[in-house]
Structure 1
């Protein structure tokens, strides 16, 4: 019986797969916790992967 494999996911070239980062705002709140914000990669919208582009035959020729 044959086994079908999934194609490898393409890693986002903008963030190299590290799509979300926590950035400290400096200082701490009144409970002693660091104040941070979460930022997502604008190219892949926080997924870390991009979709494969389809090449159309005969386009641009």
Structure 2
């Protein structure tokens, strides 16, 4: 029987819970692999969750 667990926090509205991505630079390394950099979401600072507390949302602030 499946157990449903609810998220303890809301996902970030800017990155939808995917806070870090690998972006190719277009260059290759000497071994032939693609060179990538990691970019994190500036809104949640790489956590993937919203920083807004539910109390402030309910109060309309």
State the TM-score, normalized to the length of structure 2: 0.70
What secondary structure sits across from 1:27 in the alignment? strand
What secondary structure sits across from 1:23 in the alignment? strand
State the TM-score, normalized to the length of structure 1: 0.70
Runs of 4+ in 1 over 3 A off after TM superposition: none
Larger % of strand: which?
Answer: 1
Deviation at 1:42, TM superposition (A): 0.3
1:26 paired with 2:11, answer: no
Unmatched 5+ residue regions in structure 2?
1-5
Q: Contact 2:44 / 2:51 at 8 angstroms: preserved in 1?
A: no
Structure showing greater Rg:
1
Larger % of helix: which?
Answer: 2
Indicate the residue corresponding to 1:42 in structure 2. 42
Deviation at 1:52, TM superposition (A): 3.3
Unmatched 5+ residue regions in structure 1?
1-5
